[in-house]
Amino acid sequence: MNKTIRIVLYVLSILTVAGVIAAFIVSGGNDTVKTGVNSTVKPDGDKTEEAGESSAGETGGNGTAVTGDDISGSEKADFGTDTENAGNDVGAENGDNTQNGGNTENGEKAADSIGLENSGDTTLIFTGDVLFGNAFKTGYDAKGITGVVSEELLRELNDADILMINNEFPFSDRGEAMADKQFVFRCSPSYGKALTEMGVDVVSLANNHTLDYGKDALRDTFTTLDEAGILYGGAGDTVERAQEIQVIEANGKKFGFLAVSRVIPTADWKVENSAPGLFSCYDETRLLELIGEGKKQCDFLTVFPHWGTEYSENPDKNQLRIAEKCMEAGADLIVGSHTHCLQGVEYFDGKPVFYSLGNFIFGQSIERSAAVEVTVKEDGTVAYRLIPVCAKGGVTQKMEEAAAGSMYSYLQKISVNAAVDSAGNVSEVK
């Protein structure tokens, strides 16, 4: 071989070896393990090894977030003392403001944890009174959530971006029933999963039954809801927590929910007098201040009061006064509870007050009731539609068309300046 050619080949071989050595040094001698916090997911769902911080506590075995079951449903129970235990004692004492399941410490629900981050229209559903009592337990134990709420209605509840109910009982197996109180309610924390199955995002605890079994039972309720990742308003271990506006971000907007009660059996239920306790509005000064503050942080603010006279279709003077003041203070919507029957609708400058939605899950039979669906459109306009419901054999379900039409006509008759069309759409009569 020519000497010149041999020299050229020798130099090339040296350069090749040097290149291989350099590549090995740069790669750190490892061509399979990825470094850093993020991991690589293989097509079959298995993770590769991680050289950095592990995130296994936040994910399941396939690398996806663990969010629990995705079902929906809800039911109400009978009036009367309910001492039946169906699960273990939670025994929780914290009742603090830290929310689990993707909720931030100040009560805001993280949008990306519930899939609400995209822009567009947002659907909210509000229901009336919910009680998990004897009728609920019978149906749920027999058939699960569909033994309490029909599959058709469950789908509609779960399709909403945000669902709010009035939780008219404590989740607890502890405590003593309040003396000299005609009706006292409670349900074992083991049934808390039913709220998740319904698709509930936020509840009001500001009512006249959440302290039926005392303060430990209310603390257990906080714990049950925290563990389920469900926000709660209107009650807390401190004045500040009880008065806190619950905020959920959805589709680029912030939705606030402020729960309050004007029906409290004794003064020591008020959180200002004894904690844990409830936020009340016998003096509505603080309520109106909070509405003003809430409008500064929320695009749409709902006030959820427990008020009125039971079984009266007409709002009382306190409801009328408080409603007008809340709207003047900046509320966008008011949805009431407590009366166990439907009350009418009244508009204030284009913003509606649904004085009471009646019962939603409450015993074996409900003749007529309604949930209200609120659609907040991307441009900020709002539409309202009634979802007519009844309960038969302890199962809450949508009304048949003829019964629904009769209910719409009835509701329009008892309303002030609201029209209800044949599809349940509610609008202002100017």
Per-residue model confidence as pLDDT tens digits over 238-267: 999 999 999 999 999 999 999 999 999 999
Under 8 Å between Cβ of 360 and 76: yes
In this model, does residue 405 exceed pLDDT 60? yes
Of 205, 277, 264, 209, nearest to 238 by C-alpha is 277
The CATH number given to 111-428 is 3.60.21.10
pLDDT at residue number 42: 27
The C-alpha atoms of residue 77 and residue 136 are separated, in whole angstroms, by 5
What residue type is assigned to position 418 of the chain? A
In this model, does residue 110 exceed pLDDT 60? no
pLDDT at residue number 107: 35
**Range 81-96 average pLDDT:** 31
Of 100, 123, 259, nearest to 192 by C-alpha is 100
Strands of 237-299, DSSP E: 246-250, 253-261, 277-278
> Who wins on pLDDT, 409 or 104?
409
**Range 303-313 average pLDDT:** 98
Of 233, 246, 242, 132, nearest to 191 by C-alpha is 132
In this model, does residue 127 exceed pLDDT 90? yes
Crossing angle of helices 285-297/317-329, nearest 10°? Answer: 30
C-alpha distances in angstroms, 416 versus 128, 145, 314, 340, 391?
A: 20, 37, 10, 20, 27
pLDDT at residue number 199: 98
Residue 112 DSSP code: G
The C-alpha atoms of residue 427 and residue 430 are separated, in whole angstroms, by 9
Going by DSSP bridges, is the β-strand pair 333-335/351-354 parallel, antiparallel, or unpaired? parallel
In this model, does residue 360 exceed pLDDT 80? yes
Under 8 Å between Cβ of 346 and 418: yes
In this model, does residue 61 exceed pLDDT 70? no
**Range 60-73 average pLDDT:** 27
What 3-state DSSP class applies to 402?
Answer: helix
Sequence-ordered alpha helix ranges (H) in 132-284? 134-143, 151-159, 193-198, 214-228, 239-242
Report the chain's mean pLDDT, rounded to a whole number: 80
pLDDT at residue number 112: 35
In this model, does residue 19 exceed pLDDT 90? no
374 burial (CB, 10 Å; 0-12 / 13-18 / 19+) is buried
pLDDT at residue number 119: 62
Under 8 Å between Cβ of 303 and 274: no
Placement of tokens 């349940």 in the chain = 424
The C-alpha atoms of residue 228 and residue 18 are separated, in whole angstroms, by 60
pLDDT at residue number 114: 40
**Span 312-349, pLDDT tens digits:** 999 999 999 999 999 999 999 999 999 999 999 999 99
Lowest mean pLDDT among 19-28, 272-281, 288-297: 19-28
pLDDT band at 118 (very low <50, low <70, confident <90, very high): low
The C-alpha atoms of residue 275 and residue 244 are separated, in whole angstroms, by 15
In this model, does residue 77 exceed pLDDT 90? no
Lowest mean pLDDT among 38-42, 148-152, 180-184: 38-42
> Who wins on pLDDT, 104 or 144?
144
pLDDT at residue number 109: 39
pLDDT at residue number 252: 95
pLDDT at residue number 100: 34
**Span 148-178, pLDDT tens digits:** 999 999 999 999 999 999 999 999 999 999 9
Phi and psi based region of residue 301 (left: phi greater than 0; alpha: psi -120 to 50; beta: remaining): beta
The string over 339-354, giving b where at least 16 C-beta atoms fall within 10 Å of a residue's C-beta and e elsewhere, is bbbbbbbbbbeebbbb
Of 66, 154, 69, 54, nearest to 102 by C-alpha is 66
pLDDT at residue number 6: 42
C-alpha distances in angstroms, 30 versus 33, 53, 308?
A: 7, 18, 71
Of 67, 32, 39, nearest to 53 by C-alpha is 39
Lowest mean pLDDT among 109-118, 179-188, 276-285: 109-118
pLDDT at residue number 357: 97
pLDDT at residue number 15: 53
Strands of 39-146, DSSP E: 122-130
In this model, does residue 235 exceed pLDDT 70? yes
The C-alpha atoms of residue 345 and residue 413 are separated, in whole angstroms, by 10
Whole-number percent of the chain with pLDDT over 90: 72
Under 8 Å between Cβ of 75 and 364: no
pLDDT band at 361 (very low <50, low <70, confident <90, very high): very high
**Range 44-73 average pLDDT:** 28
The C-alpha atoms of residue 229 and residue 248 are separated, in whole angstroms, by 12
In this model, does residue 283 exceed pLDDT 80? yes
**Span 198-232, pLDDT tens digits:** 999 999 999 999 999 999 999 999 999 999 999 99
The C-alpha atoms of residue 288 and residue 348 are separated, in whole angstroms, by 16
pLDDT at residue number 298: 98
Segment (H or E) for 384: strand 382-392
What 3-state DSSP class applies to 407?
Answer: helix
Whole-number percent of the chain with pLDDT over 70: 72
> Who wins on pLDDT, 62 or 296?
296
304 Cβ contact list (under 8 Å, min separation 6): 126, 164, 166, 204, 206, 233, 234, 257, 258, 259, 260, 334, 335, 336, 337
